[in-house]
Structure 1
């Protein structure tokens, strides 16, 4: 019989068991259906399960080396390690469960992409928060902390937060209200006009919200910003306004009415223009070098639909102006220079010769 120094038998047995569990779960995952839930869960859980066994064995061996008899008095330590390992495993499997639910639940697939993103993000935070709260309470109970003490500490903690961490509390409450009221969801393009901020929502956290600006820069905003500022959500509008101001030459004033009539006719035939909303073409003023006209209509709410319609409208304006024999002017400025009335040309030339 081989006797290992420092009582390494327990340690090596635990580490060997952790390796066997890793290999066993890996082999089971290989046998499972490639796109199935079982394969995803096994692959996600093998690391946490194996490390829990290995670390639990290492802790037990270390305590025994210190002279603590965990076989009789170490149930609390074993339970703490087991709870932490279980929570870690569930948190690692959480993403696989949510992904599987999004792919296979029919009622979830019938919702829009924005609603699916919101529900998955909400479930993700609820599962994480609930697990961490329950694990913390159970660990404190195993350590001998009474519920009365917890309630008292939470009361003092709430008072301290109220007086000394008002900003933190405001952001946390605002984060909760973002999930309740849902002024925007992940993937929406929003604007905060009071602060000249805009971007696409990427993350909605309990303390801050991350936006991606149009130039692809990450922008982190405290949630309290949205509680005290107006928000424009471009993803929620059904239609977007196309407003084009352009000009024609002053020499083309006789062609003004034919151009206006032709453009109004074009708006009735242009695909993408919403017929139930205003369609206007008007002469709006005299510019420095042009007769100014303005065209207004409404199209689809998405950015792609808006830019495609705007491009089509601009092309049709150019074709109508050219077909009527008019043109769009270049900015010009006429400078008139006059000579003084009392100036004698002969005196001026004599003075120049002298």
Structure 2
């Protein structure tokens, strides 16, 4: 603090206080420009609300704060320059660099706000794939950050050629040290581009104990909500080496059941099969453009079996079971309507008897029935 006071007293001896007028004019002009901008901005917002498109509103939101900051900071750099020029002992070369850096930072800020606003707008629509929207947003932010860092380094006089040469060697070292992190990053990119699943899909893997609903696809890992409502965090690199099923993208759900009737109802099998098939062909919840089969299938140990093979229109799990229940109950009605019934496991033992031979076989006294004392 003492050094600053000593520097100020020494510098103030040769100061020309005309710079105060310049600073006042610049800050006053900045205040007027800011008020004009706020007035114009409010009018533009009112006009944008009356248009059919949302893109004008998105652009205005992205420009609002950065332009306000620019209106105040840009004249302030000239005001600081006037103060520095008043002191012969203080250089002002760094101000030109600061102005260029300010312009670069503000432009990057506008672009980032624009990317975020567009991503938020597109995410509100159910017609667009949320995974793709999120992926493009991540890539654009990384690209802007990379361009911004390189531009700022060049403004500060750092050679990009040497930096990129060093980056090649350094990138190899970092890549070997963080191979898992990089594999998860590129695994996330493959999910974004290949789109085996999206946010909201129900997935499962026969190779791993993974099943649930996808809630978030990050750049390093994917969060899945299991059917027990537990969060499951899976590194993205895992999905490049396992098989993933996506039941959410099914077109239909299958009903594949085998039904057995009694052997003594064999003469009714033909009409039962015909009526069941007719019922399925007229059922409002059965997909008629998919495979539909009802056929006598096998002579089982205790029953004559026929099978039904068809598909429902719905893929919703709960609704599918309601349709399947309705189909099965209608089959019960058809079987009973024809005087038949369903079989259950039974065993029949048949004896071939020869009365003449049986009379000549002596009966073991121990096996003879006890005499009736009554």
TM-score normalised over the length of structure 1: 0.68
Among 286, 297, 314, the alignment partner of 2:328 is 314
Cα distance in structure 1, aligned partners of 2:157 and 2:307:
76
Cα distance in structure 1, aligned partners of 2:165 and 2:299:
71
**C-alpha deviations, 1:207-237, integer Å up to 9, x for none?**
2234444566554322111101101122444
Cα distance in structure 2, aligned partners of 1:56 and 1:226:
50
- Alpha carbons of structure 1 residues 20 and 263: separation in structure 2 relative to 1, 3 Å: same
Mapped pair 1:25 → 2:41: yes
Cα distance in structure 2, aligned partners of 1:43 and 1:195:
45
Cα distance in structure 2, aligned partners of 1:264 and 1:181:
41
1:76 paired residue number:
97
1:167 paired residue number:
180
C-alpha deviation, 1:242, in angstroms = 1.9
1:139 paired residue number:
152
1:193 paired residue number:
206
1:148 paired residue number:
161
**C-alpha deviations, 1:136-195, integer Å up to 9, x for none?**
111121222211232133223322233211111111121222233332344443222222
- Alpha carbons of structure 1 residues 140 and 251: separation in structure 2 relative to 1, 3 Å: same
Among 204, 209, 222, the alignment partner of 2:222 is 209
TM-score normalised over the length of structure 2: 0.65
Aligned length: 321
**C-alpha deviations, 1:111-131, integer Å up to 9, x for none?**
x946x5455344323322221
Cα distance in structure 2, aligned partners of 1:255 and 1:53:
94
Gaps of 5+ in 2: 1-16, 346-365, 367-374
User: Residue 144 of structure 1: SS of its match in structure 2?
Assistant: coil
* Max Rg structure: 2
User: Residue 88 of structure 1: SS of its match in structure 2?
Assistant: helix
Cα distance in structure 1, aligned partners of 2:232 and 2:81:
48
Gaps of 5+ in 1: 104-108, 332-340, 342-354
- CA RMSD, 1 decimal: 4.8
- Alpha carbons of structure 1 residues 45 and 211: separation in structure 2 relative to 1, 3 Å: farther
The 5-angstrom pairing of residues 260-275 of structure 1 reads 260-271=273-284, 272-275=286-289
